Structure 1
Amino acid sequence: MELFHDTEPSQKQQADQLEESWTAVDPGCPVPSTRDLLEAANVVRKHYRIKVSGPEPPPPLRSWSELTAVAISTQPLAMADAASAAVDAAGGSRHRHGNSKTAQRSGGADSSESTGLAYASPAGPKPVQVLLSRLQQEGYAHPTPIQRQAVPALLASRELLAVAPTGSGKTLAFLVPILVRLRQLKSAGDWPAWPKAVVLSPTHELSAQQARTLNLLLPGSGLKACLLNKATATGNDLSKVDILLANPLRLATMVANGQLDLSGVRFLVLDEADKLFELGFVTQIDGVLAGCSHRDVVRALFSATLPDKVENLARTVLKQPLRVIVGAKNTAVHAVSQRLLYVGQEAGKLLALRQLLAEGLKPPVLVFVASKERAAALHRELLYDGVHVDSISAALSPTACAAAVDNFRSGKTWVLIATDLLGRGMDFVGINTVVNYDFPNSPMDYIHRVGRTGRANKTGDAPLLRPIANLIKEADGEVPDWMLRLKKLRTKDRKRPALSPEVVSGANTNTKPVNKGRKKLKRTLATVKANKRRQPDT
């Protein structure tokens, strides 16, 4: 009698293999209890606090190594045959994700593929492999939570509304899929002139930061990128540019004047989208959206905060977007130690800052102020103290701002003073402390500042203090109880205090509103004296 042996591995062996393969690519994430595709995706999302809403979201990445097969399985059908041939020639195979009928590789198939999340392929198209190598060389060993979900979503041509904390890797979350998809389009011969991807940002400094990140990944891609400014707008042939980084006003003006053709754009990304919609760029953004007329264009909005009013406006420019939120929406970063420092009055802020510096506050330090006049005034005060300080604001030329940022990055400057707008989205590696020298105008502005301090017990600030104190309390920071019991601020009262003439001229750093009653009395007395002088003697 012939003895038959079951060649299939036992359930325990399959479970052990699944756990081993899962742990190898994502050691910090729990192993799903079943082979169900949805459960496996939800395990990753729950572990990394990723919330997704929208129809049929693609499963998140577990590692960068899955990028090759994700790119193949989500590419348009017109390019599928060429990509399949490229992978097969390299000794691999392709399979699609998104349902339970995941294709299996013949012979020694990795059991983790049955979860629907194992996109890994032993080899793939060379440009993607080069990109993976660049990511490893630059220290991006594992994708961040926003990258895990945003990358496969954009590769699947899903429009995206993404909210993630500052410093969470949003720039790579849209640059990586742009590089992968554009390289595929170029290999397939779908390559018209003019830009194929546009990234809009509210400030030139943020665009310059994106350009630095992009330049790390471009080598070997065969793509050309350009940071749009006054010099490049006139000195470059933009018809040969593939990825364009720009600010709305200049870009919209060039499109309206016929200097730039955006009809071939496949990716349009709005970074710091809430600020773009708040700052009156809506008209310019509408012009850019109208110019990006390709039928397959994919639009994505990224930000660290997204008020409901801005989100409703953003949805008017997106088609059935996926909404991806990492962590809690519109909350401060819990990983940052936060505290409120009570200084009594305006003059106490400068004394407190000097004391912190004298006590050995470890640089680099980023200081936020309310206006460009405040930045210049505080800059002078600290300069007289012998501190290695610099400032960036709208009052400076782009060259001066770039030099200040470069000196801060290189360590030549210890303290950098910035306004909210120019500090928004800036990525400075190794910052130890961020000081709110001037009170943020809203909780959203506060969230965008890394590390916190503030002022209280001053006209106009006490009502603003309560929402900020609540944010710090939620992030396990140090907040006195009396701050949490302050009166709520009405929306119509959210106005920035007027600056006195002394502040505007830079004589001091005081922001106390001018006493209008006293000025009116002085004018009245002056009028009375003038009238008396005009009266004839009797």
Structure 2
Amino acid sequence: MSAPTADGGSLAGRISKPETMNAQAESFQPQSGTSWADEVASPVTEKPSAPVAVEEKKPESSEAPVSQVDGATAPFGGSELHEPEFDVEVKLADMQADPNNPLYSAASFEQLGLHDNILKGVMAMNFRKPSKVQEKTLPLLLLNPPHNLIGQSQSGTGKTAAFVLNILHRLDLSTEQLQKAPQALVLAPSRELARQIVGVVKVMGSYMPGLIVEAAVPQDAASRGRKIEASVVVGTPGTVMDMIRKRSMDMKGLKVLVLDEADNMLDQQGLGDQCIRVKAMLPKNIQIVLFSATFPDNVVKYAENFAPNANQMTLQHQDLTVEGIKQIYLDCDSDKAKYEILVKFYGLMTIGSSIIFVKTRETALAIEQRMTAEGHKVVSLTGGYEGAQRDVIIDSFRMGHAKVLITTNVLARGIDVQSVSMVVNYDVPDKFVGGGKFVADPQTYLHRIGRTGRFGRVGVAVTFISNRADWEKLMEIQRYFGTEMTKVATNDWDELEETVSKIIKSSRAGANFKDGARMEMQD
């Protein structure tokens, strides 16, 4: 069989030398820097005030929804998936394999050999056929013996559904003992994303008798010390590591390890160390699956060490721009002016729902307290809140009870709320590179603005700059993605309000998407 050709500079073209599958990854030190996901950041000195009173979340229906949604399930306002137009590139670790072989592509879910109960879940959610990403990656994921996979593809292309279907396919639920023993572990950078994935697994596995799914996320004091007895566990790295150490989970029967938002997980000092330690506590012959919308070059070697001899599916970063998002920036005179303009934006932010991203917990708390004191209804969500508070806040935002959410990068990845029509970068996303220096962070920018303009709709991304350093970082992000950001004057508020209002209203009016086949599948 013919060997696959290299693809130039993409991740798919960088195949590590063949080694024994799932051999222990070499030790590596992730890039130093501040905590991206906010989960491992140092605690704030001031305890956050209690969040604004919100309604308790409604229980999720036990029945599969009529249509599949992206990321969050239907009761929590997820976005329907829209089929992308790009081509998927696949590189096989086995250089003798033929990527054009029909074995490596599936035009229907029936061709994959999935159990009838899994297919029932797929069909009940109106999956018509695999997305392009699933068409290429699912046959590779489902291979026996199992192979590792590194997958890079933008939001809305079927990543979550791909790794969840692989997990469900590999479960053995034939006895009560097996149903209570972890067979699959998914690690996510935040409790909010972990809870969202739990919902996805429950819905997709709703026709599988004996399926038990639990979240391993930071618990309030009263809940600590509990044991997890579930066939699928979704959690944050630090909590999972602690639970394994305390023998609260028996991992000797584990078959699959998945890292969602893998580039973020491996590139952060705290999260990366925790992921490596978790992996060292697991059986050595497990299948390792890494998925993310972005894989910066500096993370590629870490990913290949973590999941050795992996098949790889990628997109070039220039193909990762978010269509349908109007990107504008406002040149503010000072930090004081930033806040004054933010307050003016309140009326526009409540047309749909909006997320305001800030750099630190302290800034989020200060803005929330100040805007609340001035009579605006906003809530903030950061790692400074206890888990139960965070759950109430995010569920309230999903259901539309809270329209404006102020947060750190803890919610920049994977979180899917269909009603979000505006993202505000109150602080330009950057990252610490040592020596007191911060540089532009294009990946964080892409993930942040990807919370709006979801899958065929229109959204607005507004970035505030108040000094030359911010402007230079934003221009670097613009060059990185080859996109165009429009400068909008702040001295003519009527014109600014009219421009942004039109974009947001067109977003809500166009929620049924443009012409074309609608693909209703998971992220």
TM-score bracket relative to the smaller structure:
0.5 to 0.7
- The answer to whether 1:478 aligns with 2:482 is no
What are the residue-to-residue correspondences of 1:245-260 with 2, within 5 Å? 245-260=234-249
Give the TM-score of the pair, scaled to structure 2. 0.65
Equivalent AA in structure 1 for residue 135 of structure 2: R
Identify the residue that residue 390 of structure 1 maps to in structure 2. Answer: 379
Please say if 1:129 is aligned against 2:119. Answer: yes
Alpha carbons of 1:433 and 1:347: their partners in 2 closer, same or farther (altered >3 Å)? same
Could you tell me whether the CA contact under 8 Å between 1:261 and 1:291 is conserved in 2?
no
| AA aligned opposite 1:205 | E
Aligned to 1:469: 478
Structure 1 vs Structure 2: percent identity of aligned residues? 24
Q: Hey, what does 1:224 align to over in structure 2?
A: 212
**Structure with higher RCO (Cα < 8 A, 6+ apart):** 2
Counterparts of 1:41-190 in structure 2, within 5 Å, are: 48-54=86-92, 55=94, 56=97, 57=99, 58-62=103-107, 66-71=108-113, 125-136=115-126, 140-156=127-143, 157-182=146-171, 185-186=172-173
Matched, 1:203 2:190: yes
The amino acid of 1:216's aligned partner reads V
Contact kept, 8 Å, 2:118 with 2:204, in 1: the verdict is: no
- Distance in 1 between residues matched to 2:466 and 2:179, nearest whole Å: 60
Question: CA, structure 1 residues 143+343, in 2 after alignment: closer, same or farther (shift >3 Å)?
Answer: farther
Distance 2:212 2:257 in 1: 16
**1:283 paired residue number:** 273
TM-score (norm 1): 0.63
Note the C-alpha offset of 1:49: 1.9
Distance 1:311 1:233 in 2: 36
Change (3 A) 1:232 1:242: farther
Using the alignment, how far apart are the partners of 2:445 and 2:141 within structure 1?
Answer: 29
Distance 2:192 2:84 in 1: 34
Structure 1 partner of 2:80: none
SS in 2 for 1:177: helix
Q: Which moved more, 1:418-427 or 1:145-154?
A: 145-154
Which range moves more in the overlay, 358-367 or 414-423?
Answer: 358-367
Segments of structure 1 that go 5 or more residues without pairing to the other structure are 1-44, 73-124, 481-538
Q: CA deviation at 1:134?
A: 3.2
CA offset digits 1:201-248 (Å, max 9, x no partner): 111111011112222122221211111133776444x3x411011111
- 1:379 aligns to 2:368 (yes or no): yes
CA distance, structure 2, for counterparts of residue 253 and residue 358 of structure 1: 44
Instruction: Work out whether residues 61 and 148 of structure 1, in 8 Å CA contact, stay in contact via their aligned partners in 2.
Output: yes
Taking the aligned partners of 1:454 and 1:70, their CA distance within structure 2 comes to 44
Q: Which amino acid is 1:71 matched to?
A: G
CA deviations on 1:137-189 (whole Å, 9 max, x unpaired) are xxx4444333333322211233111112234342222111211222xx44699
Q: Distance in 2 between matches of 1:286 and 1:393?
A: 25
- Distance in 2 of aligned mates of 1:165 and 1:337: 18
Amino acid at match of 2:483: A
- What's the CA shift for 1:381? 2.6
Contact 1:272 1:304 in 2 (8 A): yes
Instruction: Point out where structure 2 has 5 or more consecutive residues left out of the alignment.
Output: 1-82, 431-440, 450-459, 489-523
AA at the equivalent of 1:53: K
Determine the C-alpha separation between the residues in 2 that align with 1:143 and 1:476: 32
Corresponding letter in the other structure for 2:112: V
- The answer to whether the 8 A contact 2:84-2:157 is kept is no
**Per-residue deviation at 1:436?**
0.5
User: Mean Cα displacement is larger for which, 49-58 or 271-280?
Assistant: 49-58
How much does 1:375 deviate? Answer: 0.4
Where does 1:317-332 land on structure 2 (aligned, <5 Å)? 317-326=306-315, 328=317, 331-332=320-321
Residue equivalent to 1:299: 288
- For the residue of structure 2 that corresponds to 1:319, the secondary structure is coil
Matched with 1:30 is: none
CA distance in 2, matches of 1:270, 1:309: 17
Bigger proportion of residues as helix: 1
| 1:479-521 alpha-carbon deviations (Å, 9 max, x no partner) | 69xxxxxxxxxxxxxxxxxxxxxxxxxxxxxxxxxxxxxxxxx
Distance 1:233 1:245 in 2: 16
Residue 452 of structure 1: CA displacement?
2.5
Distance 1:336 1:284 in 2: 35
Displacement of 1:343 = 2.2
SS at match of 2:405: strand
CA distance in 1, matches of 2:123, 2:289: 26
Offset at residue 368 of structure 1 (A): 0.4
**Is residue 352 of structure 1 aligned with residue 346 of structure 2?**
no
Contact kept in structure 1, 2:148 and 2:288, CA below 8 Å? yes
User: Structure 1 residue aligned with 2:233, among 244, 256, 260?
Assistant: 244
* Aligned amino acid, residue 136 of structure 2: Q
Query: What is residue 368 of structure 1 aligned with on the other side?
Result: 357
Deviation at 1:328, TM superposition (A): 3.6
Does the CA-based 8 Å contact 1:265-1:292 persist in structure 2? yes
Q: Number of residues paired by the alignment?
A: 372
CA contact (8 A) 1:266 1:298 kept: yes
**Alpha-carbon spacing, 1:169–1:428, altered in 2? closer, same or farther (3 Å):** farther
- Greater Rg over alpha carbons, structure: 1
Name the amino acid aligned to 2:444: D
Q: Is the 8 Å Cα contact of residues 333 and 475 (structure 1) preserved in structure 2?
A: no
Paired letter, 1:212: G
Deviations 1:10-61 (A, max 9, x none): xxxxxxxxxxxxxxxxxxxxxxxxxxxxxxxxxxx99542111224345333
> For the structure 1 residues 469 and 341, does the alpha-carbon distance in structure 2 shift closer, same or farther, using more than 3 Å as the test?
farther
1:315 counterpart = 2:360: no
Q: Secondary structure at the match of 1:175?
A: helix
Q: Is the 8 A contact 1:59 1:152 kept in 2?
A: yes
SS of 1:455's equivalent? strand
Aligned mates of 2:156, 2:356 — CA distance in 1: 17
The Cα of 1:353 is off from its aligned counterpart by 2.1
Report the AA paired with residue 478 of structure 2.
A
Over the aligned positions, Cα root-mean-square deviation in angstroms equals: 2.8
